[in-house]
Amino acid sequence: MTGSIEGGCLCGRSRYRISGPLRVTAHCHCIMCRKGSGAPVVTWTVCRPEHFEWTGEKPAAYASSEGCARTFCAACGTKLTFTDTKRPDDVDITVGSLDDPNAVSPESQIFGPSKVSWLHLDPQVPFRDKHQPDDPPSDPVTDDERLEGGCLCGAVRYTVTGPPAKSGLCHCGICRRETGGPFVAWGVWLRERFEDNGAATTAYSTSEAGIRRFCPTCGATVYFESRRNPNIAEIMLAGLDNPNRVVPGAHAFAASALNGLVLMDDWPRWPNDLNVGNPDNTLLRLAF
């Protein structure tokens, strides 16, 4: 790497600069990353602490386990960094929060046993030794079945009943930046089939379409509140206690996906929003 790499949050308050070499980049499938971000997988790149500096307002931090801190912008919820006192020479940075997330490419995948079973990502990016996924089978959700979910710290909890009216993956830059993951998985339920515990969430308006809500304690993105349709509840599937149960059925904004990203599924690839124009099923495929 020559020069510096910069990044930051959606609202621009928390900014950072990386001035030295990046040591490794990997897709992480662990439960904490999934619950803490709102994305089914988080891609991290790593540098030394002396090569990382905050150039804007310092973000909020959540101690997700002993000695570990996950940072996020308290205003917009963007997930930014991870540090662990057991790895004092490393600062992990979410690739989604880089100004140019295509500046790096993942070399490996980790915590495969925790991987969401329907997610088959980048076959050209290997799992590290002893990190191979299990991909347990899961039965379809019945109409009266209740699925539970929530944020990483447990303050925000919710229940949805039955399968979603629709679901999919979104590759837009806003979802990528805000969660830190390469994409998000979402599901839409009728409002009457959704119930939460009333815990406080922080709202951030990212577009005319709606508002993203995240936990003010741990930063986990949990809901998307539609301005256009108040009769629906849209949740991040990564927040479900068992996200294997809800299988997405389409890709949205696939033309905005990260360079070289490959997903091994047969769902339609909509270049922009769902049902706008025609699917382009050459997207997110291996190039031959």
Model confidence pLDDT, tens digit, residues 34-63? 999 999 999 999 999 999 999 999 999 999
Average pLDDT on 118-135 reads 91
For residue 137, the model assigns a pLDDT of 81
Contact 149, 158 (CB under 8 A): yes
Q: Which domains does the chain possess?
A: 5-114 (2.170.150.70), 146-256 (2.170.150.70)
Of the two residues 182 and 1, the one the predictor is more confident about is 182
Average pLDDT on 150-164 reads 98
- pTM of the predicted model as reported, rounded to 2 decimal places: 0.95
Res. 122 pLDDT band, cuts 50 70 90:
confident
Compute the CA torsion angle 217, 62, 72, 90 (nearest 10 deg): -170
Model confidence pLDDT, tens digit, residues 206-233? 888 889 999 999 999 999 999 989 999 9
136 pLDDT above the threshold of 90: no
139 pLDDT above the threshold of 90: no
For residue 45, the model assigns a pLDDT of 98
288 pLDDT above the threshold of 90: no
Adjacent-strand bridge partners of 148:
159
Res. 134 pLDDT band, cuts 50 70 90:
confident
Mean pLDDT of the chain: 95
281 pLDDT above the threshold of 80: yes
- Contacts (Cβ under 8 Å, ≥6 apart) of 126: 108, 109
Angle 130-136-141 from CA coordinates, rounded to 5°: 150
Average pLDDT on 244-272 reads 96
Res. 2 pLDDT band, cuts 50 70 90:
low
